[in-house]
Amino acid sequence: MEGLAEKLASMLHKYSVRPFSDAYGSVAPGDPFVFTNYTFFMVIAAVATLAFFVVAAKNPTLVPKGIGNLAEAGVEFIQGICVDAMGKEGKKFVPFVGTLFFFILFANVLGMTPGTLPASGTIGITAAWGISVFLLYNYIGFKKHGFIGYLKSFIPSGIRQMSPAPRLILGTFMFALELIGHFLRPLTLALRLYANVFAGGLILGMFGIFMILSLSEISALGVVSAGFSLIMLVIMYAFKLFVSMIQAYIFAILTSVYIGGALHADEH
């Protein structure tokens, strides 16, 4: 189709990380901090999350209704995740996990609005969330079990009970394996969320481009192509909304599992 390459290039430029205002110039290695387009929508998502709970907490009633009922259901849902993954200690981590869940959810849903970008569509922001989780649950593990005690949990209890020679060989191997996997956790948290959200945005953009280009060709084939693109666009919007919620849920449940693992490291 004529003009396809230009529109694809424009779409990729839209999803690239660049200064919110052209006055800042281009983003290049070594540049000082600049307020980017993704940072702007991250701030909007944070404000939307805060506003949601402020409105929900306003004029509390015995039987919540409207936004209050929605917020209470969401908090109870997160509390269930935390308690299942961490035990009775999970309740005190509901604010942290809940903030992550709702923040990511609002960021994802906001990014589906035409003219906006999902804050979770850039690896820099999702990596910051992943590293925050990584630092928290390791802090919890070291604080509760001590330096040696927490590191010992990287070796399964069955191996620790073996005779000296196999314990040394298998223990060293499993410790190295667990340590590598341990440090990959923030990367997998960040990449999973980023890749799903970014790819979803690109797919929506491509079907939108195909529909526009098809309508520019006044022919039966153009009308059929535009209709197919429109149907796929609606389907993908619904699917992306589902993925947005699922990714927020996955991030929350993995965070809970990692914190739970640190809390009960002595049971491994």
**pTM recorded for the entire structure:** 0.84
pLDDT in tens, the chain (268 residues): 556 667 667 767 777 777 776 544 554 555 556 778 888 889 999 999 999 888 887 766 655 667 778 888 888 999 999 999 998 889 999 999 999 999 999 999 988 887 888 888 888 889 999 999 999 999 999 998 888 888 888 887 777 777 777 777 887 888 888 888 888 999 999 999 998 888 888 787 777 777 777 766 666 766 777 777 778 778 888 888 888 899 999 999 999 999 998 988 776 5
Q: Residue 14, SS3? A: helix
Largest CA distance in the chain: 79
Q: Which residues contact 129 (CB under 8 A, 6 or more apart)?
A: 100, 104, 189, 190, 193, 251
C-alpha–C-alpha distance, residues 263 and 150, integer Å: 10
φ, ψ for residue 36, nearest 5 deg: -90, 170
Domain ranges of the chain: 4-12+37-111+121-267
Q: What is the pLDDT of residues 109-159, one digit of tens each?
A: 988 887 888 888 888 889 999 999 999 999 999 998 888 888 888 887 777
C-alpha–C-alpha distance, residues 173 and 114, integer Å: 50
